[in-house]
A and B are shown apart, each in its own frame.
Chain A
């Protein structure tokens, strides 16, 4: 009995100290969400401007840039997966990886060979544990991605995409480098503090996407700008040529989208971590409560037993004295 009481007390102590760790993690993640959301917001003006410029360009230039044209008979597709570096984030990584698996099997069904590019240590371990080949991995920045990180990823992907232009029948083309014909990205979209959804998107060949059209218009209204004349396309002058500009802009646009995805993923990561840590510390508290109830019971049982032993002993003494 005494041993089990000691064991219970030890468990209570260890539960309480893990609970401290969980709630510290929860607080850290909470602070990080706010910062990550601020960074998502801060990156929006650029994304909006580059989209505006690109759509202006798209209306004037002939769009036969390799990043825009659909390849005939695509054979290989690069898939960029954004996971976290650290665990303790609930189902965050599992969800992204499951979404990735769906995309991979879809690509295989379409007769395309997927090539994996992984961001984050968790994704890296997941695939290396399963002996799956990864073309390249990028780690160490999942919680606070910088633009340079997105650039490194973006240039690797654009390189392999351009290398795929001359590939024929699954073999390397004239440049001797086996490239890819499509670029996909899987990341976790930050919808709100409570809902983060893993999404898969195609980045290349790309369609120029309107960045939050709704906010766009509202902002115009707030600034008192009338959008009455927006129906008429303005004819731009280009320096250098429209094609030259497109060459320079498109890779930047792809990088911007990767950067935006990374920022969203970072915000989602912190949000899921906070949620996971919140339920973990709640559970730890519950556990500690149950354990201390058990410990109290054990303590009372011990006392009762001791008393009954004493009483029993006294009785025995009395009866033995009476027998004399």
Chain B
């Protein structure tokens, strides 16, 4: 069966790479699923989005990605993000804490962005905002 060669890179390091059956992401235009043989595509990921990579074998790698882009070419899929975290590495308690802090800080653009990041981390980890 055909697979996708997926690369997930954040600015400071490469987060994940490998073979996958499918990639699901949300761009600014809407939810998007990429299967092998997808037409070449460049997309901007929605802020505070979650990217799901279905690894060959049925397992899911869920990633919280911020400020990212998705590029699909004939060679595979690459996801570029300013920061990205795999769900298993996310510290749920810290994300909750960050969310609370960001929400109490008011509504300047920076704390809104921080709140969004925290939310997407929680979403990727499959946890709710309150303990």
Q: A46–B43 Cα gap in the complex (Å)?
A: 16
State whether the Cβ of B100 lies closer than 8 Å to any Cβ in chain A. no
Q: A248–B82 Cα gap in the complex (Å)?
A: 12
A234/B40 in contact, CB under 8 A = yes
User: How far is the CB of B23 from the nearest CB of chain A, in Å?
Assistant: 14
Q: What sequence of 0s and 1s flags, for each residue 17-48 of chain B, a beta carbon within 8 Å of any chain A beta carbon?
A: 00000000001110010000001111110000
Total A-B Cβ pairs within 8 A:
86
CB contacts under 8 Å to B, within A89-146, are: 146
B42/A53 in contact, CB under 8 A = yes
With A235-B40, A239-B43 known, 16 other A-B pairs at CB within 8 A are A43-B12, A45-B9, A45-B14, A50-B80, A53-B42, A53-B69, A56-B40, A225-B75, A229-B74, A236-B42, A237-B40, A239-B44, A245-B69, A248-B44, A252-B67, A252-B82
Note all chain A residues with C-beta closer than 8 A to B27: 239-240
B32/A236 in contact, CB under 8 A = no
A240/B28 in contact, CB under 8 A = yes
Q: Is the interface of B mostly helix, strand, loop or mixed?
A: strand
A147/B69 in contact, CB under 8 A = no
Q: Can you list 14 contacts pairing A with B, beta carbon distance less than 8 Å?
A: A45-B13, A46-B10, A46-B11, A46-B80, A49-B78, A52-B71, A53-B42, A225-B75, A234-B40, A235-B40, A239-B29, A240-B28, A242-B42, A249-B44
CB contacts under 8 Å to A, within B74-98, are: 74-75, 78, 80, 82-83
Interface size class of A (residues with CB under 8 A): 20 to 34
The 9 closest A-B CB pairs, nearest first, are A239-B43, A42-B13, A45-B9, A237-B41, A236-B40, A45-B14, A234-B40, A46-B9, A239-B29
